[in-house]
Chain A
Amino acid sequence: DIQMTQSPSSLSASVGERVTITCRASQDITNFVAWFQQKPGKAPKSLIYAASSLQDGVPSKFSGSGFGTDFTLTVNNLQPEDFATYYCQQYSTYPHTFGQGTKLEI
């Protein structure tokens, strides 16, 4: 199975700042990476697919990059509603494994 390793596992930031979360795959997955945001008690929300394409309705403050094994999610101009847990997922090969999550805190 492909392992997805996210870092950091937790992150503290302030309103207005920019943060970057990293996800590393255990083997080449080209650009088959998605990113999700999850708030406590809620279902995940899809943010990005194909490493860098925004899902419909997702604001451009979210951006993704990477190819092969190393991927990043960047969130610009943090607002209170952005503080949540973020997950990456590879969908190159079954099982479609998730990273362990990054909790973004104020």
Chain B
Amino acid sequence: QVQLVESGGRVVQPGRSLRLSCAASGFTFSSYAFHWVRQAPGKGLEWVAVISFAGGNKFYADSVKGRFTVSRDNSKNTLYLEMNSLRTEDTATYYCARRPQGRGLDYWGQGTLLTVSS
């Protein structure tokens, strides 16, 4: 069955860097685009970034552009989110989600919590 498992979230200080991972299984990873979506505590969903199935196309929310980088390793069935210059407002649960061609997001991971605090 389709599984997406995020990891890497922890407490970090403002200005530091962190990489989140999303390990996929149960389907052909390289056939899908993937998105990162985050949710600050008690708040709504915020779209963060997308990477195309081959990794050649990437788009970011203005709030993270220039600081976050999305990447993927199709040989390892893993999606990444490299986050630099972290701010307190980046504190959130980060979800990865799969998007089939021509459809909305279908499967989501369980999320990983990033807390940015001094």
Residues of A within 8 A of B (CB): 1, 33-34, 36, 38, 43-46, 48-50, 53, 55-56, 87, 89, 91, 94-101
Query: In the complex the two chains form, is A98's CB within 8 Å of B46's CB?
Result: yes
A43-B111, A94-B59 given as contacts; is B105 within 8 A of A34 (CB)? Answer: yes
Residues of B within 8 A of A (CB): 35, 37, 44-47, 50, 59-62, 95, 97, 99, 103-111
Choose from A45, A89, A96 the contact partner of B108 (Cβ within 8 Å): A45
Choose from B46, B50, B107 the contact partner of A94 (Cβ within 8 Å): B50
Query: In the complex the two chains form, is A96's CB within 8 Å of B44's CB?
Result: no
B-side contacts of A89, CB under 8 Å: 45, 47, 104-105
Query: In the complex the two chains form, is A91's CB within 8 Å of B46's CB?
Result: no
Can you spell out 20 A-B residue pairs with CB atoms less than 8 angstroms apart?
A: A34-B104, A38-B45, A43-B108, A43-B111, A44-B37, A44-B108, A50-B103, A50-B104, A53-B103, A87-B45, A89-B47, A89-B104, A91-B99, A94-B50, A95-B59, A95-B61, A96-B35, A98-B44, A98-B47, A99-B44
CB distance from A71 to the nearest CB of B (A): 12
B-side contacts of A98, CB under 8 Å: 37, 44-47
Q: How far is the CA of A95 from the CA of B59 in the complex (A)?
A: 8
Query: In the complex the two chains form, is A101's CB within 8 Å of B45's CB?
Result: yes
